[in-house]
């Protein structure tokens, strides 16, 4: 298959790229915030750097330009404090079919501690699932980062490397995916019309492993 680089007019949101404010480098792109219904990127999550001390959620409207190497913002570093701080917390919650007489399932949280332990006053045997809470973004948004799983109905096909986004609409047009270890080595470019769902567990696509192999390949520039 012919190797391909995508050079559409639009933004390249390369997870891990340096982010620059108008007055200097202010961090790295950690994740993007997505409306799962429209596949529109609404915000960028920028990690703390020399010119900022907290991870921040920045609207995509402040992006002036982007390349695979860097993202330039239209704001100065002293304006970062005007945007929400970002934080992830992970809990364990009872499985959906767990019966409990006193509390609703969504009212029972256990903070995750190091090494996967949970803190409880008395030992209980409860079927648990993990749940993440993303502070600083609306509850009806999802986050995509480097390493977000890409799955079909049966298997994990790979992980997200970066995104290609239309400049005017903010909609994701393609995912660049690093394939799973058991598939031939390489990257593939998946159009968003193959995406079925985006949620906290990953991205679900209507592609078999063989169909993934037939898609255009991609060579990272780094």
Domain parsing of the chain, residue ranges: 11-82, 87-135, 142-218
Determine the 3-state secondary structure of 152 from DSSP: coil
Nearest to 16 by CA among 175, 133, 160: 160
pLDDT tens-digit readout, 120-150: 555 555 565 566 677 888 889 999 999 999 9
Q: Which CATH class is domain 11-82?
A: mainly beta
Kindly report the pTM of this predicted structure.
0.75
Query: pLDDT for 148-203, tens place per residue?
Result: 999 999 999 999 999 999 988 899 999 999 987 766 668 999 999 999 999 888 99
As a whole number of angstroms, the distance between CA 5 and CA 129 comes to 39
Cα separations in angstroms, 123 against 114, 136, 193, 221: 18, 33, 47, 51
The answer to whether domain 11-82 and domain 142-218 are alike in fold is: yes
User: By C-alpha distance, which of 122, 142, 130 is closest to 94?
Assistant: 130
Give the integer Cα–Cα distance in Å for 166 and 195: 16
Tokens 């030992």 correspond to: 123
**What does the pLDDT look like over 5-34, one tens digit per residue?**
444 468 889 999 999 999 999 999 999 999
Fold type of domain 142-218: SH3 type barrels. (2.30.30)
């Amino acid at each position: 298959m012919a190797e391909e680089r995508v050079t559409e007019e639009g933004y390249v949101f390369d997870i891990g790229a340096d982010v620059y404010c108008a007055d200097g480098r202010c961090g790295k792109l950690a994740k993007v915030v997505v409306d799962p219904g429209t596949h529109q990127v609404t915000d960028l999550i920028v990690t703390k750097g020399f010119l900022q001390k907290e991870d921040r959620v920045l609207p995509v409207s402040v992006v002036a330009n982007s390349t695979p190497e860097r993202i330039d913002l239209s704001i100065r570093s002293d304006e970062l404090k005007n945007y929400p701080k970002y934080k992830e917390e992970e809990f364990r919650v009872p499985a959906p079919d767990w019966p409990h007489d006193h509390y609703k399932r969504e009212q029972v949280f256990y903070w995750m501690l190091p090494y996967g332990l949970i803190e409880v006053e008395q030992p209980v045997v409860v079927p648990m699932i993990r749940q993440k809470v993303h502070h600083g973004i609306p509850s009806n948004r999802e986050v995509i980062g480097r390493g977000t799983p890409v799955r079909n109905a049966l298997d994990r096909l790979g992980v997200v490397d970066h995104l290609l986004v239309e400049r005017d609409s903010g909609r994701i047009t393609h995912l660049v995916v690093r394939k799973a270890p058991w598939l031939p080595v390489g990257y593939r470019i998946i159009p968003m019309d193959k995406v079925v769902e985006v949620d906290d567990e990953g991205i679900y696509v209507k592609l078999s492993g063989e169909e993934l192999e037939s898609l255009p390949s991609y060579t990272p520039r780094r």
